[in-house]
Amino acid sequence: MEQFVADTLKDHNLRTTTCRTEVLGTFLNKEVALSHGDLEGALGDQFDRVTIYRTLKTFLEKGIIHKVLDDEGVRYALCKDRCTEHDHHHDHIHFKCTNCGQTNCLENVHIPAVQLPDGYRANELNLLIQGRCPECVA
Amino acid sequence: MEQFVADTLKDHNLRTTTCRTEVLGTFLNKEVALSHGDLEGALGDQFDRVTIYRTLKTFLEKGIIHKVLDDEGVRYALCKDRCTEHDHHHDHIHFKCTNCGQTNCLENVHIPAVQLPDGYRANELNLLIQGRCPECVA
DNA sequence: ATATGATCTGCAACACTGTTGCATGGTAAA
DNA sequence: TTTACCATGCAACAGTGTTGCAGATCATAT
Ligand SMILES: [Mn+2]
Ligand SMILES: [Mn+2]
Ligand SMILES: [Zn+2]
Ligand SMILES: [Zn+2]
């Protein structure tokens, strides 16, 4: 995994710094969408808040992570497809469990086509489904 | 319209105060999704920020408005269907124009059914489509 | 291995968002 | 008109996100 992190950073022409390595590693470990606050919590006092914000911004721009909309603040998740700077192409849904609070990408569940009224030009879709995840349904 | 505002408040067992009247009136006038900041701007210094926050929260709880997810902060829009406290039932999409910045409800465009993997229980859907609105396509 | 320049980081400061407690003022109903 | 209840304004606070700048760190070329 450490190798994957190093490669990913190199592939995107980013210097391998401790913060970037740790943040990317955290996304790989947790496998759920993370907020800035989640990262701060996971990484302790290792890094300044601002550095984490900037790391997220950089990863976003490079297409390493994508935003996950939420009714109580933005989260971020790894891009599985190869996205590039300002050209994210995601069509999977995001599921937020209202019980355990976890949000994740359901990469295999695609957003169905939507017929927009005349004149509208669609660019980016974002579908959040809230409910109960399998672990919390029981 | 003033009558409609008064009726709506009464229907939801809310006292008719100036702030509530003005906020509800603003939603009716503007016909787009509004953020707290938009309302502050539209209403000038008439009311304290906190009062506007509390008005939004009250309207949300009563089912007068619903949240509209956005990648840069939550907005709110009027509920057309009769929603009740904690029982919002919306299945229309929200469209945000990346050019003029306006977000609105496309009440007639419904969110298609989504087949979730086994074990997931869906409750609430939120689909935001970003792109260009008819006025900005030209 | 070292020097160099580009870039990343931490810190400080700031603006904006959202919440809470409390005293005061307004509303609706008797 | 009185009264009880509720909404408002103000103050204070925690959280979020941005920027400027000086110093540290990284990648590269010597
Ligand atoms: Mn995703
Ligand atoms: Mn809507
Ligand atoms: Zn769950
Ligand atoms: Zn537009």
Q: What is the pLDDT of residues B74-127, one digit of tens each?
A: 999 999 877 876 677 888 999 999 999 999 999 999 999 999 999 999 999 999
State both tokens at B90.
Answer: 């919306």
Tens of pLDDT, residue by residue over A40-97, are: 999 989 999 999 999 999 999 999 999 999 998 999 999 987 787 767 788 899 999 9
Question: Where on strand D do bases come within 7 A of a protein Cβ?
Answer: 6-12, 15-20, 25-27
Mean pLDDT of chain A: 93
The half-sphere exposure of B106 on its side-chain side, counting CA atoms within 13 A, is 23
If you measure CA to C1', which residue is closest to nucleotide C27?
A: B15
Q: What is the DSSP string of B18-57?
A: HHHHHHHHHHHHH-S-B-HHHHHHHHTTSS-HHHHHHHHH
Tens of pLDDT, residue by residue over B47-75, are: 999 999 999 999 999 999 999 999 989 99
Residues in A closer than 8 angstroms to B114, CB to CB, are 93, 109, 111-112, 127, 129
pLDDT at B86: 67
| pLDDT band per the 50, 70, 90 thresholds, residue A2 | confident
Does any CB of chain B come closer than 8 Å to the CB of residue A116? yes
Distance from C-alpha of B42 to C-alpha of B49, rounded to nearest angstrom: 12
For A103, residues 6+ apart whose C-beta sits below 8 A from its C-beta are A32, A33, A68, A70, A75, A77, A94, A95, A96, A97
> A104 by DSSP, 3-state: which?
strand
Token pair 């990262």 in the structure block, residue:
A39
State both tokens at B34.
Answer: 């509004």
Cα end-to-end distance, chain A, whole Å? 33
Please give the share of chain A, as a percent, with pLDDT higher than 70. Answer: 99
**Nearest Cα to A124, choosing from B90, B109, B34, B127?**
B127
Distance from C-alpha of A68 to C-alpha of A46, rounded to nearest angstrom: 25
Q: Which domains does chain B have, with CATH numbers?
A: 2-137 (1.10.10.10)
* Interchain pair A69, B74: CB under 8 A: no
Residues in A closer than 8 angstroms to B56, CB to CB, are none
